Amino acid sequence: MSGSPPQVVAYVAAGSNIEPRRNLPAALEALRGREEVSGVSTAYRSRAVGPDGQVQPDAPDFLNAVFEVRAARGPVELKHEVLRPIEAGLGRTRGPDKFAPRTIDLDLVLYGEATMDTAGLRLPAPDLLSPFILVPLLELAPALVLPNSRQPLCCLWPGGIPAGMAPDGECTRVLKEILNR
């Protein structure tokens, strides 16, 4: 039997606070060249936070969005063979400070109904309930149910955009144009 491998709906959180209006679209372009991207959320500006959850006043603001992907690869392959090389191609370096500014951060936050906890990948991602991921994710998939708890995501968020987050119309416009090419 021939044909394409089955596709799984996955969600990738994308964030940047170094030239974000250049790096988010560049990441989307690169991802589209490797997987089918079927949706893009609004891009949201938010303040950088540190390990204590407090705003880092000297760090540049982030732009964050979520990409919906029809993945033909497994979750580990998607992360290591697609997302990490895109990050590296856009100049992302990883150091000991996981809160340091970055050109791009691409995190696989959901992969169909998969749940896993390995040294290299946790699904659903632990940061999934952070507003900068949850708000754009709910925009793309308002009826989404968490695979590990069977709880609707919409029940975990009171709705609206939290203080300190704002849509970035220009970046969103560019992302939507890329998606619709």
Catalytic amino acids? 92, 102, 105, 107
Q: Write the DSSP assignment of 134-179 as a string of letters.
A: HHHHHHH-TT-B-TTT--BGGGG--SSPPTTEEE-HHHHHHHHHHH
How many degrees, rounded to 5, is the angle at CA 45 between CA 87 and CA 32?
Answer: 35
What are residue 127's phi and psi, to 5 degrees? -85, 5
Residue 64 β-bridge partners: 15, 44
Sorted by sequence, the CB contacts under 8 Å of residue 55 that are 6+ apart come out as 47, 48, 49, 164
Residue 176's closest CA among 32, 34, 57? 32
